[in-house]
């Protein structure tokens, strides 16, 4: 029987996607170029600076899940949205508003500010994800909530992905871009806190143990393990792609301004295709939809290998195909995570959604850290140096590999992990007792 959840909460929950979407997009697109082009940091060192705070969140996110699990207030996760969300926005603004000289001070400022923002993100994102399983126990309602969330996230990604590069390169510079982005993150986190007031908690939850215990529980779950593997591979591939867009526009297309067009072509189809992916999920199940979305994304990335040296128009077309696939891989795993946690609760008698969400978000951020880190390595191998007027063949091939070849390989490899997920088949097939009752 489907539980009733007010539309205000179902849709208001999605507003948290404004904060997470902007926070995830702006550094992914602009932090590497800010370091290499604005501060003169080498590609390899820049990749390490981007990697370190996100890798820290691999440890911090399970901690956030454990801390939020221990809360016994009636509103449970919402206080974290109120406090950590605004701190995340302030930290994001600080990343791009520090000094540019001397070199070591500028580098340390970015690293510390990024680390602080990443910590705040952990304490926002983990409770936020956990809410989706605690406010409803219904399979269909969770899918609907995630579809709304993905629509908001992709809209936030679309707007910030177009506006932020424009501000950084033409209008107010990186400082103005950072301040505006931070303010949007603060507003989104306060909006989801306000709109989810009165949200029910349909199950109580026991707190998790330490990081090692949490990893053992989640990675030892036969249903969670393939999802986590796919998540890390896809996060690494897509974050590498996003970090490389600015370089592809400058080096392969010869015009840095085209980066905004490429990103717009990538995310706008994502906004428009969110209802389509919800329909695909209803027709083929979450696992089937996830496979289809991953295949679309992977094929788009493969095709991009051949069009980067062609016309901008073809790049925009295949960017749109890639973006549609990217939207799909946002919908399905986030709708499958609560199913895994709910199954764990039924089989163990313990509700550990915070634990699952913490490990999930930590692994996702580990993948997001690996992407720019890999890009830094690839660019360094190609001898890329920022601020040049022209680039040699090795640098161009390195940018091409970082934009298309390596991300495509990572995404297509994730299909092997998704095929191992079996819980969705069981959830979509009524048990003999349910079938007999229905008849």
d(CA 239, CA 25): 9
In a domain, 154, yes or no: yes
- Distance (Å) of CA 126 to CA 63, 162, 344, 355, 357: 9, 27, 18, 9, 6
- State the pLDDT at residue 74: 67
| Among the listed residues 133, 45, 119, 48, the one whose alpha carbon sits nearest the alpha carbon of residue 88 | 119
Phi-psi sector, 386: left (phi>0), alpha (psi -120 to 50), beta: beta
Residue-wise pLDDT for 176-192, tens only, equals 999 999 999 999 999 99
In a domain, 189, yes or no: yes
| Among the listed residues 284, 314, 280, 283, the one whose alpha carbon sits nearest the alpha carbon of residue 300 | 314
In a domain, 359, yes or no: yes
- State the pLDDT at residue 117: 94
In a domain, 307, yes or no: yes
Range of the domain at 119: 9-198+207-432
Residue-wise pLDDT for 389-430, tens only, equals 677 889 889 999 999 999 999 999 999 999 988 887 777 655
- The mean pLDDT of 280-302, rounded to a whole number, is 90
Residue-wise pLDDT for 159-170, tens only, equals 888 889 888 877
In a domain, 40, yes or no: yes
| Phi, psi torsion values for 69, nearest 5 degrees | -65, -30
- Distance (Å) of CA 39 to CA 46, 96, 99, 116, 257: 10, 11, 9, 20, 20
In a domain, 438, yes or no: no
Spacing of C-alpha 61 from chain mean position: 14
Model confidence at 209, pLDDT cuts 50, 70, 90, reads: low
pTM (predicted TM-score): 0.76
CATH number of the domain enclosing 296: 1.20.1250.20
In a domain, 265, yes or no: yes
State how many domains the chain has.
Answer: 1
In a domain, 1, yes or no: no
d(CA 29, CA 100): 19
């Amino acid at each position: 029987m489907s539980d009733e959840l007010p539309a205000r909460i179902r849709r208001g929950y999605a507003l948290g996607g404004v904060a997470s979407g902007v926070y995830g997009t702006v550094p992914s697109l602009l932090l590497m170029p800010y370091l290499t082009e604005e501060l003169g940091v080498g590609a390899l060192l820049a990749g390490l600076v981007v990697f370190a705070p996100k890798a820290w969140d691999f440890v911090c996110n399970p901690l956030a899940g454990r801390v939020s699990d221990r809360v016994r207030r009636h509103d449970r996760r919402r206080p974290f949205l109120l406090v950590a969300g605004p701190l995340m926005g302030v930290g994001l603004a600080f990343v791009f508003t520090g000094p540019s000289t001397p070199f070591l001070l500028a580098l340390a400022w970015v690293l510390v500010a990024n680390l602080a923002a990443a910590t705040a993100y952990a304490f926002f994102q983990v409770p936020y994800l956990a809410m989706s399983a605690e406010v409803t126990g219904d399979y269909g309602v969770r899918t609907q909530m995630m579809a709304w969330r993905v629509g908001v996230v992709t809209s936030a990604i679309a707007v910030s992905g177009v506006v932020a590069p424009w501000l950084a390169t033409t209008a107010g510079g990186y400082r103005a871009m950072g301040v505006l982005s931070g303010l949007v993150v603060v507003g989104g986190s306060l909006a989801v806190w306000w709109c989810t007031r009165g949200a029910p908690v349909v199950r109580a939850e026991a707190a998790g143990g330490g990081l090692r215990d949490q990893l053992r529980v989640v990675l030892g779950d036969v249903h969670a393990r393939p999802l986590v593997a796919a998540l890390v591979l896809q996060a690494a591939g897509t974050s590498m792609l996003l970090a490389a867009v600015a370089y592809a526009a400058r080096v392969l297309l010869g015009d840095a301004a085209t980066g905004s067009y490429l990103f717009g072509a990538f995310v706008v189809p994502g906004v428009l295709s969110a209802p389509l992916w919800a329909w695909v999920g209803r027709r083929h199940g979450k696992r089937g939809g996830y496979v289809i979305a991953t295949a679309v994304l992977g094929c788009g990335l493969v095709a991009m290998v051949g069009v980067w040296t062609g016309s901008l128009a073809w790049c925009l077309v295949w960017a749109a195909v890639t973006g549609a696939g990217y939207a799909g891989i946002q919908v399905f795993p986030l709708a499958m995570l609560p199913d895994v946690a709910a199954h764990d609760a039924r089989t163990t008698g313990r509700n550990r959604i915070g634990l699952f969400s913490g490990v999930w978000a930590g692994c996702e951020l580990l993948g997001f850290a690996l992407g720019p880190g890999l890009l830094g390595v690839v660019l360094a191998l190609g001898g890329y140096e920022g601020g040049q007027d022209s680039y040699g063949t090795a640098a161009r091939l390195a940018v091409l590999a970082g934009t298309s070849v390596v991300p495509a390989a990572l995404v297509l490899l994730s299909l092997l992990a998704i095929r191992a997920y079996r819980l969705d088949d069981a959830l979509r097939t009524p048990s003999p007792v349910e079938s007999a009752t229905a008849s």
